Amino acid sequence: MIRSIRSFLNDTAIVGQEDNYAKTFHYFGAGAALLAPQGVIYNEGYLSIGDETMVGPSVCLTAGMGPGQTMLSNPVVRIGRKCIIGRGSHIIGHWSIELGDEIQTGPYVYITDQNHGYEDIDAPVGWQATKEGAVKIGSGSWLGANVVILPGTTLGRNSVVAAGAVVRGEFPDHVVLGGVPARILRHYDEARGWVDGAPLNG
């Protein structure tokens, strides 16, 4: 009985384009859904969710440090069409996070465009000035469970990031990344197909 009630409540709490709440977003696409229970979501006017994109349960989507903050760009977080964002993931934007179309993530992926500095050795790291770096994930890519995408990362189209990888830097289309820090494990070569290691010019 309790399980049935919980299932009913979760179905009822799914947010779709026709819900009043969806209208508070910068864009909330046709066929898009925020599954229940939703995680922390604030500054919705700076968040864009593409058509037919599904945001899983307990996903946190935020722009800025707290509700009501005025941001310098809009949208701050843009998720493209037909994406699937895995359960418990966090997409925390301050300047620019852009996910292309048809991206899928496993659970508990963390994507941010801001980190604290640590240069002042006498000040607690958490109180030091922050640094932003735009993040862009190419269309068609897959991010495995527990992947961390750090500020300044650009990932090309149709790429794979192995579970648990910590990614920072610029990477071309059609690569497989893994490790901490992430490196190119395989890449696609037009003449040879999939090849181990990074491309010679990469």
The pLDDT tens digits for 109-136 are 999 999 999 999 999 998 999 999 999 9
Q: Has residue 3 been placed in a domain?
A: no
Give the domain CATH number at 34.
2.160.10.10
Q: Has residue 27 been placed in a domain?
A: yes
Write out pLDDT tens, residues 55-73. 999 999 999 999 999 999 9
Kindly provide the b/e burial profile for residues 154-173, where b requires at least 16 CB atoms within 10 angstroms of the residue's own CB.
bbbbbbbbbebbbbbeebbe
Q: Has residue 201 been placed in a domain?
A: no
Q: Has residue 1 been placed in a domain?
A: no
Number of structural domains (the chain) is 1
Residue 187 annotated among the catalytic residues of the structure? no
| pTM, 2 dp | 0.92
Q: Has residue 108 been placed in a domain?
A: yes
Q: Has residue 2 been placed in a domain?
A: no
In the chain, which residue ranges form alpha helices assigned H by DSSP? 2-13
User: Which pLDDT band holds residue 1 (cuts at 50, 70, 90)?
Assistant: low
Residue 5 has pLDDT above 90, yes or no: no
Full residue range of the structural domain in which residue 74 is found: 9-196
Q: Has residue 4 been placed in a domain?
A: no
Q: Which of 26, 90, 94, 116 is catalytic?
A: 116
User: Worst-scoring range by mean pLDDT, 6-10, 79-83, 191-195?
Assistant: 6-10
